[in-house]
């Protein structure tokens, strides 16, 4: 799936840190656009500590909720797995944050009711309605996710059931990465955990010079590490990353 740079190759080289499943289409399009691509996944998706029991329990009473809020493609995948296991056919209103999250749901035939133009939690909070008769919200998120969304929703009167639907971990096995041998020009970070794990796995000394961030939350993590964001994609998804890197070719 990935092309490998060599001494006689003048194509720019970009490192992708997403899981193989998530990064597959982006890698393909980057290669077709004229990049060498090195895949070095720095996260794996794992079951939460309760092995999904809280999510299963919530989905068994799914119609008790007025809204379900899904914040990532991984969250959608785990939500749908649990729905399929139980055999649920009816859904409350569904809100998502990102276009990739909406696309994942659409591909599964599930319609959404709300998505903000600003693909961050702050964007959803700007347009999310006030509670009425049924003020219950199901919020399946990754372990160690941001606290902003549930905190503000609770402040506004929503009864929020926050459940951990998955967690991201460092890969148990991973290939080495030596910047001096691979001569990468860019690296793409798609979440704060991809940043943290790359540094733990490979060290700051192996970072390519130019860091591409998927969005403001990831950019914040990069800056916390006293590193600079070379470009932040807009929109904050694979489409934005691809556009950002293609623009750098011109």
- Specify the pLDDT at position 3: 39
**Whole-structure pTM value:** 0.86
* Architecture of the domain whose range is 13-43+171-249: 3-Layer(aba) Sandwich (3.40)
27 φ, ψ (degrees, to nearest 5):
-60, -45
103 CB contacts (<8 Å, ≥6 apart)? none
Q: How confident is the model at residue 2 (pLDDT cuts 50, 70, 90)?
A: very low
* Percent above pLDDT 70 for the chain: 96
Q: Is 116 helix (H, G, I), strand (E, B) or coil?
A: coil
Residue in this structure with the two tokens 């910047």, named with its chain if needed: 179
Q: pLDDT by residue (tens digit) across 233-249?
A: 988 888 899 999 999 98
Q: pLDDT by residue (tens digit) across 24-59?
A: 999 999 999 999 999 999 999 999 999 999 999 999
CA angle 239, 196, 97 (to 5 degrees): 40
Break the chain into its structural domains and give their ranges: 13-43+171-249, 46-169
The reply to whether 13-43+171-249 and 46-169 are identical in fold is yes
Check whether 7 has a pLDDT greater than 60: no
Check whether 62 has a pLDDT greater than 90: yes
CATH code given to domain 46-169: 3.40.50.10090
Average pLDDT over residues 178-191: 96
Q: pLDDT by residue (tens digit) across 78-131?
A: 999 999 999 877 899 999 997 778 888 888 888 999 999 888 899 999 999 999
């Amino acid at each position: 799936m990935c092309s490998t740079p060599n001494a006689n190759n003048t194509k720019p080289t970009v490192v992708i840190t997403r899981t193989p499943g998530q990064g597959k289409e982006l890698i393909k399009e980057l290669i077709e656009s004229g990049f060498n691509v090195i895949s070095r996944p720095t996260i794996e998706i794992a079951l939460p500590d309760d092995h999904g029991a809280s999510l299963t329990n919530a989905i068994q009473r799914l119609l008790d909720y007025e809204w379900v809020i899904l914040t990532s493609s991984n969250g959608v995948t785990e939500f749908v797995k649990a729905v399929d296991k139980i055999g649920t056919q009816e859904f409350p209103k569904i809100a998502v944050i990102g276009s990739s999250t909406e696309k994942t749901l659409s591909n599964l035939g599930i319609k959404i009711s709300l998505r903000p133009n600003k693909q961050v939690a702050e964007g959803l909070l700007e347009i999310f309605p006030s509670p009425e008769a049924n003020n219950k919200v199901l919020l399946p998120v990754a372990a160690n996710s941001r606290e902003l969304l549930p905190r503000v929703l609770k402040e506004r009167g929503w009864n929020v059931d926050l459940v951990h639907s998955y967690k991201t971990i460092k890969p148990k096995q991973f290939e080495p990465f030596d910047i001096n041998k691979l001569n990468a020009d860019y690296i793409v970070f798609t979440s704060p955990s991809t940043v943290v794990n790359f540094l733990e796995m490979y060290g700051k000394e192996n970072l390519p010079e130019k860091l591409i961030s998927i969005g403001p939350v990831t950019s914040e993590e990069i800056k916390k590490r006293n590193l600079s964001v070379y470009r932040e994609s807009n929109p904050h998804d694979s489409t934005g990353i691809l556009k950002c890197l293609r623009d750098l070719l011109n």
